[in-house]
Amino acid sequence: MTTTAGPRAPERLAPEPAEPERQQTGFEREERRFARILVAPALLVLAVTTTFPLVYLLVSSVYRTNLGATAGNGFVGLGNYVQAFGDGRFWHSLWLSCVYTVSSVVFQIVVGMALALVVNRIRHGSWALRIIALLPILLAPVVVGLVWRTLLLTPSFGVVDYLSETLGFGSHDWLGEPTSALVFTIIMHTWQWTPFCFLVFLASLAGMPAELAEAAKLDRASAWNRFWHITFPLLRQAIVVVAIIRTVVALSAFDAILAATGGGPGTATEILNLYVYRASFGELRLGYGSALAVILLFLTFAVAYLFYRLGRRRQS
């Protein structure tokens, strides 16, 4: 999955020298042994830190493990899942996850693309913009949530509130009202990660052959047509990759929301990920939390797989 063919093309052209049959097998056996030894340590660590916990999670999702009220704890089969499907709070959090993910990813990609297209035409000084764009990406999301909550959104203190008052919209408890709290958690996420899309698209644009756009210009194609028929197809791979990464990250967004609203007010910003956290570590219903986490897991992989297929089909 690369956007620049550059250095990889020649190595594909050069055929590997054929070796005599008998030697090859010995060499290959040696080669495989070598490779197995090399991947062993990483594989071991991955098994211990990811696969074992996942199996544990699956097992724990079929038990009732309520550390707050231990009576009735034990094997419940699919009970936790059945409970989830009848749980209005679960469906609400799932809906919020969809709203949060779709809107923030769409905004990130659209704004990031627009900025990249503009900045790509700047000949000098775009390095300064790239450095500024780097800032939010480097910050810890929890710090982003804190800064927004305190310095920007606090009523009668934050800069956003000040602007709103100056412009005549009045002072509001931005994170205290359900709708605006959700909107601002989405804005925070979009704020932090739009530069990600911007930088990736800018890099992809820079790797594009300039002659194509020039030729289209000579043909008097309109700016929109040039974008739609030339730039967009060339960026498709980058867009798919960015969309996958941003969607997976948005689905498991946590830090900034917890820092800014804690999922509140009430459950207004409680996306599925936060519900898992609150059920598991707030209410200590670990079994139920595990079942919710398994659902989130499947959702994440399903979406990633969907994007992957989509990208492949369009390409061929």
Partner 1 sequence: MIGRTGRLVAAGVAIVVVFLTWAFPVLWTAVTSLKFAKDIFAYPPKLFFEPTGLNYDGVLGGRQTLVNDLVSSTVISLGATVLSVAAAIPMAYVFARCHLRFKNALALYTLFTYMIPRIGLVIPFFVVFRKLGLTGTYSGLTLVYLSFSLPFAVWLLVPYFEDLPREMEEAGLLDRAGRWRTLWYVILPQVRGGIAITAIFVFITAWNEFLFGVVLSGSEVRPITVAMYNFIGVEQTLWGPLTAGAIVAMIPVIVLGLGAQRGIVRGLTAGSIKGGSRT
Q: Does residue number 153 form part of the binding site for partner 1 (CB under 8 A)? A: no
Is residue 295 within 8 A of residue 87, CB to CB? The reply is no
Q: Does residue number 38 form part of the binding site for partner 1 (CB under 8 A)? A: yes
Q: Does residue number 238 form part of the binding site for partner 1 (CB under 8 A)? A: yes
Q: Which residues, numbered 42-61, are part of the site for partner 1 (CB under 8 A)?
A: 42-43, 45-46, 48-54, 56-57, 60
Q: Does residue number 309 form part of the binding site for partner 1 (CB under 8 A)? A: no
Q: Does residue number 212 form part of the binding site for partner 1 (CB under 8 A)? A: no
Compute and round to an integer the Cα radius of gyration of the chain.
25
- Supply angle C-alpha 129, 132, 135, rounded to 5: 150
Q: How far is CA 4 from CA 8, 112, 204, 312, 313, in A?
A: 9, 20, 8, 18, 20
Q: Does residue number 112 form part of the binding site for partner 1 (CB under 8 A)? A: no
Which long-range CB contacts under 8 A does 129-134 form with residues at least 24 apart? 130/199, 130/202, 132/195, 133/195, 133/198, 133/199, 134/195, 134/199
Q: Does residue number 207 form part of the binding site for partner 1 (CB under 8 A)? A: yes
State the minimum distance, in angstroms, from the CB of residue 182 to partner 1. Answer: 20
Q: Does residue number 175 form part of the binding site for partner 1 (CB under 8 A)? A: no
How many alpha carbons lie under 13 Å from residue 80 in its C-beta half-sphere?
29
The number of beta carbons lying within 10 Å of the beta carbon of residue 295 is 19
Q: Does residue number 15 form part of the binding site for partner 1 (CB under 8 A)? A: no
Q: Does residue number 183 form part of the binding site for partner 1 (CB under 8 A)? A: no
Q: Does residue number 68 form part of the binding site for partner 1 (CB under 8 A)? A: no
Q: Which of 91, 95, 110, 150 binds partner 1 (CB under 8 A)?
A: 150
State the minimum distance, in angstroms, from the CB of residue 252 to partner 1. Answer: 4
State the minimum distance, in angstroms, from the CB of residue 302 to partner 1. Answer: 11
